[in-house]
Amino acid sequence: MNIGLLGYGTVGGGVDRILREDPALKVTRVLSLFSTEEMASRYTDRAEDILKDPAIDTVVEVLGGIHPAYEWISEAMRAGKNVVTANKAVVAACYRELVSLSREMNVSFRCTAAAGGGIPWLTSLERVKKNDRVEAVFGVMNGSCNYILSEMEKGGSFGAALKNAQALGFAERDPSADVDGPDTLRKLMISSCIAFNGYIAEDEIPCRGIRTVRTEDLAFLKEKGLKLKLFAYAAEKDGKVAAAVEPAAFPEGSALAGITKNLNLIGCRLQYGGTLTFTGEGAGRYPTAENVVRDLRDVAAFRPAFYADGLQPLHVDNTALKRIYYVRTSAEDPFLEKITAEKDGAYIKTLPVSVPEMHAFLSSLEADGTPVFAAAVPEEEAYA
């Protein structure tokens, strides 16, 4: 296999390092903003040196972002090249276009590193869904957020923990994609499309991040025997999908509560096969690069197509998705009064509330500049 590498950042450099001694998977050309000694004569600053090179049969795209990644992946596929990417932004935004084009051109398109960092989650999901109906996918899907929350539990500040997550190579170039939830949302969307064999638009899934979490919120939850995580969840029934990304609290001792540092825990609930969970490093150079290399080996060995064929739209309907929340806010609001089950110091514990209704309420407070924190308490059957 002759590989053209589009991008030589955290993940691209890791892929090149892992493959350096591998005669079967040769990185023959590297697109980068600058040349280094390791790249030697393989270096180019022109994408066409890779996309138009007939000797290159497989392109690895690890640039991040939507443009020009989308155009270059499409051009590679049109030239009959297989594509492996770790870029969830482009896969989520251009899911239908890229899956259709890979099918039309009969090339492989793999993106296992796009969800779960180093966890072979999408390939496992692909295998189990051939045999069983996936009822739900869920988990902690962002290593940076999990690392930040773990550091804050130890007393660290949000800002310092975020800086460390960037220095360790966990965070996205624009870390708001991590802390505000879009990165988790994209991973949930890609996982759901594959699990439920259809297309779910990113913007139909309500999403909140961890930016408003304070150390005292984590201490309050700890007193209740709970740990905070950024939780992604999607379930499908009769063609309708319930889905959300939001901070959620899990009982100490549960598997999700035990996920610390940059680890992810991702799982699925199957009709016959019970619940499966996968744990591993969800972010970082070598774990993520490993998943890219596994995809390359799969392409070399089997030339498999994309993980799922279905592209018919599946719509999000969260009317039945209700959760209890712990809320910290100074706002006095009739909606909040109506949903209050009990007051507990600076916090309110709510009655079960519809998730989209709660998100709309929280957004309205934030739009008025009112600080607010909310942690959902998902029902155990959602994740076990």
Least distance from ligand HSE to the Cβ atom of residue 203, Å: 20
For ligand HSE, the closer CB: 147 or 361: 147
For ligand HSE, the closer CB: 115 or 270: 115
Residue 298 contacts ligand HSE per CB under 6 A = no
Lookup: tokens for 264: 């992810």
Q: What are the distances in angstroms from CA 30 to CA 10, 48, 76, 173, 316?
A: 14, 11, 14, 20, 40
**Residue 237: CB partners within 8 Å, gap ≥ 6?**
135
Q: What gap in Å lies between CA 209 and CA 247, rounded to an integer?
A: 7
Residue 139 contacts ligand HSE per CB under 6 A = no
For ligand HSE, the closer CB: 190 or 314: 190
For ligand HSE, the closer CB: 170 or 306: 170
187 is catalytic: yes
Q: What are the distances in angstroms from CA 80 to CA 77, 91, 345?
A: 5, 19, 62
Pairing between β-strand 263-270 and β-strand 274-281 as defined by DSSP bridges: antiparallel
Q: Which stretch binds ligand HSE (CB under 6 A): 18-26, 74-82, 166-174, 271-279?
A: 166-174
List 81, 88, 129, 187, catalytic entry:
187
Contact residue for ligand HSE among 143, 198, 206, 267 (CB under 6 A):
143
**Residue 302: CB partners within 8 Å, gap ≥ 6?**
none
Q: What is the DSSP string of 155-189?
A: T--HHHHHHHHHHTT-S-SSTHHHHTSHHHHHHHH
Contact 128, 134 (CB under 8 A): yes
Residue 178 contacts ligand HSE per CB under 6 A = yes
Residue 7 contacts ligand HSE per CB under 6 A = no
Count of chain residues binding ligand HSE (CB under 6 A): 12
Least distance from ligand HSE to the Cβ atom of residue 96, Å: 22
For ligand HSE, the closer CB: 172 or 246: 172
Q: Which stretch binds ligand HSE (CB under 6 A): 95-103, 167-175, 329-337, 369-377?
A: 167-175
Least distance from ligand HSE to the Cβ atom of residue 171, Å: 5
Residue nearest to ligand HSE (CB): 144
Q: Which stretch binds ligand HSE (CB under 6 A): 40-48, 71-79, 131-139, 140-148?
A: 140-148
For residue 28, give the nearest of 45, 18, 40 by alpha carbon.
40
Cα 3 to its chain centre, rounded Å, is: 25
Q: What gap in Å lies between CA 120 and CA 288, rounded to an integer?
A: 10
Contact residue for ligand HSE among 126, 172, 246, 281 (CB under 6 A):
172
For ligand HSE, the closer CB: 291 or 329: 291
Least distance from ligand HSE to the Cβ atom of residue 68, Å: 20
For ligand HSE, the closer CB: 170 or 373: 170
Residue 283 contacts ligand HSE per CB under 6 A = yes
Contact 24, 300 (CB under 8 A): yes
Contact residue for ligand HSE among 47, 89, 171, 321 (CB under 6 A):
171
Q: What gap in Å lies between CA 296 and CA 302, rounded to an integer?
A: 10
Cα 358 to its chain centre, rounded Å, is: 23
Pairing between β-strand 109-110 and β-strand 82-85 as defined by DSSP bridges: parallel
Alpha helical stretches, state H, 36-181? 48-51, 69-78, 88-93, 95-105, 121-129, 143-153, 158-167, 176-179
For ligand HSE, the closer CB: 143 or 206: 143
Q: Which stretch binds ligand HSE (CB under 6 A): 56-64, 122-130, 164-172, 297-305?
A: 164-172
Fill in the per-residue mask, 181 to 220: x = in contact with ligand HSE (CB under 6 A), - = not in contact. Answer: --x-------------------------------------
Q: Which run of H or of E encompasses 120? A: none
**Helix, strand, or coil (residue 149):** helix
Which positions touch ligand HSE (CB under 6 A)?
117, 142-144, 170-172, 178, 183, 282-283, 288
Residues serving a catalytic function are: 187
